[in-house]
Amino acid sequence: MTQIAFGTSGWRGILCEDFTYDNVKTVVQAIADTIKASGEGHKGVVIGCDTRFMGQRFVEASARVLAGAGIKAYICERDTPTPVISYEILRRGAGGGINFTASHNPPEYNGVKFSPSWGGPALPETTGEIERRANAMIGTKSYTELTLADAVKQGLAETINPHDNYLKALEQKVDFDAIKSLGKVALNPLYGTARGYLDEPLKARGIPYTIINDHLDPYFGGQPPEPSEAHIPDFISLVKNDSAIKLGLATDGDADRFGILDADGSYIEPNYIIALLLDYLIRVRKLEGGVARSVATSHLIDAVAKKHGVPVYETPVGFKYIGELICQDKLVIGGEESAGLTIKGHVPEKDGILACFLVAEMVAREGKSIRELLDRLYGEVGRFVTRRDNLKLSPELEKAYGIKINALPAEVAGTKVVDIVTVDGTKLLLNDGSWMLFRKSGTEPVVRLYGEASSEARLAEVMAAGKAFILG
């Protein structure tokens, strides 16, 4: 029998295997019971989905279960970006949101993400409660359903379109007038939910753009809907071969992650984008507050924070922890190396749409390419080079991993280990400012090895040492 387990971004599964109607309805019933127990059932729940197979059907099924539990469902009329659902929860004062998305995962996956009334991804205590309730009900069909017609009749279901309200709110956070001076931009929503969100603000202002992959395709063009360098060769080629394009802006399947191309088509690592925006928002926008980054994210951010005299909050991996700090108004910006960020006064959730427009604003107002901005920043705070590798473990190595990670070396690649951070995984800080992080996957025999150093050559040494330690 399938057990429901919520990871860093909800419960995900393969369609028709573990992601079935019965399991989905059971999870939704568990969410309904959790919301009612919190006393917020009367506020209703926003429900949406990305562009995956059966998304809208799962939305309707969950609305029927919520109605059966006496909770009103606000049903998004089309596939909807994750940050838009977050914004709508807050705008309506809803009791929470249910989002059917598997984000950047391949097309055979779908998922359920729950956001409580504060708008960010649910914290572990909440998802733990949902897990317990769902697993106690699996296979029992403990949910009850109303038909959608009856739910509408009883005021327990309503179709909504959150598009305009979200874009109106975005106008308060992005200087679109500045972007007018940028020139032509290229857009790539990767067949996902950012269609009509990335392009419409530009179209409305007469800002020139070209767009690809802006039609529905649940197969995502044969690639995972992830705007990383490996999965957007068509977009890189487009920007490289059109000298009029000043910037390439891409989002993932549910528009909570971003992918940025410089004017020459070169892909810019998300780590560096977060650091550049931190510097820009403090120096040019004059925003006040600290910065949050996950334990796996570049210390270039720390160097920029030091330059401006602002605090750094290091969090476990998972945007919920950054979202919590946004809610407490402690941050100028919060971000993760996996291409998620948000800013002060915005939703406590990753927003790839906002990220793209902020980068466009920064490049337009600074009058420099991203590479030029990055080189200038390196000149001020030092150079940082970051990488991540996935190390596959044999059954023997997986068995030995726990022993190994409890017998850490005192020296790595000829340099002394000066501190060990165990916020999430095991992170070794070295005397020369380099670091490496080991994080074991909870779902597969893989160790994620992250590393950072001041040069490519030094990073190669650090990564080789990390690999040898795990696989040797």
Distances in whole angstroms, Cα of residue 63 to Cα of each of 24, 31, 48, 90, 104: 11, 12, 10, 19, 25
Q: Give the pLDDT band of residue 9 (cuts 50, 70, 90).
A: confident
339-375 per-position pLDDT tens digit: 999 999 999 999 999 999 999 999 999 999 999 999 9
Average confidence (pLDDT) over 70-89 = 98
List, in order of start, the domains of the chain with CATH numbers.
11-162 (3.40.120.10), 181-381 (3.40.120.10), 385-471 (3.30.310.50)
Query: 241-279, pLDDT tens digit by residue?
Result: 999 999 999 999 999 999 999 999 999 999 999 999 999
Give the model confidence (pLDDT) of 181-217 as tens digits: 999 999 999 999 999 999 999 999 999 999 999 999 9
Q: What is the model's pTM? A: 0.96
Q: Do residues 118 and 328 make contact, with C-beta atoms less than 8 angstroms apart?
A: no
Residue range 451-455: average pLDDT? 98
**Strand 426-430 with 415-421, pairing:** antiparallel
Mean pLDDT calculated for residue range 451-461: 98
| Residue burial 57-89, b: 16+ Cβ < 10 Å; e: rest | ebbbbbbbbbbbbebbbbbbebbbbbbbbbbbb
Structure confidence at residue 277 (pLDDT): 98
